Amino acid sequence: MNYAVNPDSTAVASWNEGATAGEEFDNQVILESWERCENVYRLSPSARHRANVLESVRLKEERQKHNDLLQIARAEMHRLYRQFAGSGWSVLFTDQQGVVLDYVGDATLKPDFRSAGLILGAIWSEEHQGTNGIGTCIKENRPVSVHRDQHFRLCHQQLSCCGAPIWGPTGDPIAILDASTVSALETPERQQHTLALVSMSAQFISKWRFLREYEDAIIVRFHSRCEYIGLVNDGVLAVDWEGRIVGADHKASSYLGAMIGQPLPGLSIDQVFDISPAALAERAERPYLPYCGVRTANGAQLYAQIQLGARAGEQRSRNNSRVQRIPSSPSRALEQREALCSLENLRGGDPRMARSIDRAYKVIDRDIPILLNGETGTGKELLARAIHAASQRRHKPFVAVNCAAIPKDLIESELFGYRPGAFTGAARGGRKGKIEQADSGMLFLDEIGDMPLELQARLLRVLEEREIVPLGGDEPQPVDFALVSATHRDLPQLVAEGVFREDLYYRLNGLALELPPLRQRSDREQVIRAILELESGGSVELQPAVLQALVTYSWPGNIRQARNVLRTAVALCEGETIRLTELPDEIAACAEQEGCDGDSETLALQDSPLADAERRALLTELERHGGNVSRTAETLGMSRNTLYRKMRRHGIAMRGLPPKD
Ligand SMILES: Nc1ncnc2c1ncn2[C@@H]1O[C@H](COP(=O)(O)OP(=O)(O)OP(=O)(O)O)[C@@H](O)[C@H]1O
């Protein structure tokens, strides 16, 4: 037999870490599959098509076995299908044996799919059907695209399929997500785009499955680039309260497991990252903290976000006595960071910000919904958490829902929950929705402008009637929660465009609070200094040119971007002073444009009004505290070391201070 495949054909995409669809193709996969078909399974390319289909009882059992997964996958299959709708593609879900367990597609295509053998219960393993997107993906354990005549059997050569593995909570493949068509017009190259979409959806389902499995654990999401944390491509570890790794998703297992040379479950977190179990537990309880830098056992720099799983809080209270044995000495940095979440801290020195904080105080605990508006990264979620912390509900849950991050089809069950048997594949015990979870506490609806129109009516009803009816339930259930919503979008504009309900807008907008962009804040310098203190623990300072660049730059990503930039600069800084070279070029350029020279530090220190103001502020505070450096440092929110260094640089000697009366 001649195995030659058109050399231009781009049959199989290798979806390795970091590779993008179409980047790397490998005919070898098709060749090897054809070899297996002929030499191992002894299939004949020209044999007539015979569908192998499970009996309905077995099919039912298989579907039952995959209940939880099917339920998560279904919404994502619909979302994926909508991206293809009208182009002849349908979406299939199979188990690891290649049995089709679910199908989402155009009803008019069903007869064609049926005659091609793509029906519920059909077995699409390579052993049965030769080279194909599902069976070959199972063999390869990676996304595979098989275009028309790359199918081994002639009877399948009108088909094109793209299959991608869904990974289970232990990091092993457990199912396949596939898109197939019987009327492909695409070239093999174009099919890579479809493969990329299928692959992303499969990763998304895998992530959801993992997070559901480890709701009781501390969740550590990591990536080498901080902006990828929280997306489908990051690695995820589940860790118990004693710091033992209990689960690792596929990405984490393949990256860290390979590096360490042994399975991750059972290891202590400090065998993998340079973070102690106690520090991990402390950090998990402060969900408002941003990600932190961690080093792996072999010194690679990664970024990690440490959060509680959806029910980890309950688990912690159950284990309380055990937890107390973990040495817990909250460091000064952590105390400082916790203080971040207070309204007073967020007030800063900007009049617009101060006005928003003053107004927030007036409505807290008065059952008035608050709507936060501001660009991305201005601190809307932090403000919502601070409002919660200042309210009488502070010991009750704060439940955040990002309406833009949840797939449209999942929002309804996420928000309202469902009762047992609500739909095919519903979890046996049903599931509490976010609104119910927020009962007696605070619900934070982030990116409310992205809520689908059809759900806006349901949300409105909940807000009006203060009761919910979960999917599949018939008894309304009373709920009591304080509501804060946020958006970076112009809601009145969305109302005018007809994509946001006017009545809901007024219902959410009991009080609107504006968060100014960082570039417009009059206290930019104060914010930047506070972030530096937070990120460095007071161990470094800014060269005056750096400060000028940071104050001048326009900060499109606002405070979030400023934190990222300063965190990186602190990591790069080798001495005690951050220099221009440690800033990204576009920010450093702001200083150069202003003609500010990095070497003029001493001059700038002596002459600038800024330095003068700092000197006077230090003297005033030192005098107020009778020269007590610890108390002065505490009032100024800086470490003693920083204060001593600043005093040295400003030439302030202790003996020069007037004695306290
Ligand atoms: N005043 C502040 N001081 C220090 N860090 C802050 C401050 N405000 C916000 N941050 C940090 O900036 C980041 C972004 O904040 P947050 O998530 O609250 O912004 P957001 O406006 O809700 O963003 P998005 O609209 O993108 O959801 C977080 O890491 C937060 O801890």
For 316-343, what is each residue's pLDDT tens digit? 555 543 322 222 333 444 444 455 678 8
User: Which of 247, 228, 326 lies closest to 283, judged by CA?
Assistant: 326
Question: Does residue 20 form part of some domain?
Answer: no
State the distance from the centre of ligand 1 to the C-alpha of 489, rounded, in angstroms.
Answer: 16
In a domain, 313, yes or no: yes
Q: Is residue 64 part of a domain?
A: yes
**What is the reported pTM?**
0.49
Confidence band, pLDDT 50/70/90 cuts, at residue 654: low
Residues within a 6 A CB radius of ligand 1: 288, 290, 340, 346, 374, 376-382, 446, 488, 530-531, 534, 559-560, 563
Residue 19 lies in a domain: no
Tokens of 89: 């593609």
Are 650 and 660 within one domain?
A: yes
635 and 593 within one domain: no
CATH code (residue 98): 3.30.450.40
Same domain, yes or no: 384 and 489: yes
Using DSSP's 3-state secondary structure scheme, residue 102 falls into strand
Residue 198 covered by a domain: no
What are 641's two structure tokens? 């070391």
pLDDT digits (tens, 9 = 90+) for 159-201: 999 999 999 988 889 999 999 998 767 677 778 788 888 998 9
Q: Is the dihedral of CA 397, 402, 406, 410 positive or negative?
A: positive
pLDDT value, residue 130: 94
Nearest-atom number in ligand 1 for the CA of 515 is 21
Alpha carbon distance, N-terminus to C-terminus of the chain? 102
Q: What is the pLDDT of residues 525-582, one digit of tens each?
A: 999 998 998 888 777 899 999 999 999 989 988 999 999 899 888 888 888 899 999 9
Instruction: Return left, alpha or beta for 349; rule: phi > 0 is left, psi -120 to 50 is alpha, else beta.
Output: alpha
**Residue that terminates a domain, selected from 571, 598, 625:** 598
**Nearest one of 596, 23, 571, 579 to 294, comparing CA atoms:** 571
Boundary-marking domain end, from 598, 620, 649: 598
* Residue-range definition of the domain harbouring residue 434: 338-516
3-class state of residue 419 by DSSP? coil
> Are 503 and 633 contained in the same domain?
no
Same domain, 79 and 170: yes
Ligand 1 centre from 442 Cα, in Å? 18
Q: How far apart are CA 75 and CA 185, in angstroms?
A: 27
Distance of alpha carbon 560 from its chain centroid, rounded?
Answer: 14
User: Is pLDDT of 13 > 80?
Assistant: no
ipTM exceeds 0.95, yes or no: yes
46 and 165 in a common domain: yes
Q: Are residues 149 and 31 in the same domain?
A: yes
In a domain, 71, yes or no: yes
Question: Could you tell me which residues come within 8 angstroms of residue 471 by beta carbon, excluding any fewer than 6 positions away?
Answer: 412, 413, 416, 417, 418, 419, 422, 423
What is the CATH number for 507?
Answer: 3.40.50.300
- Sequence-distant (6+) residues with CB within 8 A of 144 are 12, 13, 29, 133, 136, 137, 162, 163, 164, 195
What is the Cβ-side half-sphere exposure of residue 426, based on CA atoms within 13 angstroms?
Answer: 19
- Among 322, 352, 380, which residue terminates a domain? 322
Together in a domain, 234 and 279: yes
Distance CA(251)–CA(238), nearest Å, equals 13
Q: How many CB atoms lie within 10 A of CB 556?
A: 12
> Strands 541-542 and 577-578: what pairing?
parallel
Residue 103 β-bridge partners = 92
CATH number at residue 651: 1.10.10.60
Q: Is 299 a member of any domain?
A: yes
Segment 477-502 shows an average pLDDT of 94
Atom of ligand 1 nearest to the CA of 289: 31
Same domain, 412 and 498: yes
Does 378 share its domain with 504?
A: yes
Is residue 347 domain-shared with residue 390, that is, in the same domain?
Answer: yes
Higher pLDDT: 474 or 165? It is 165
Are 471 and 430 spatial neighbours (Cβ–Cβ below 8 Å)?
Answer: no
Is 492 found in the same domain as 358? yes
CB 307 within 8 A of CB 219: yes
Residue 58 lies in a domain: yes
Residue 379 CA to ligand 1 center (angstroms) comes to 3
Atom of ligand 1 nearest to the CA of 559: 12
**C-alpha dihedral, 305 to 306 to 308 to 312, nearest 10°:** 140
CA of 381 to the centre of ligand 1 (A): 6
Number of domains in the chain: 5
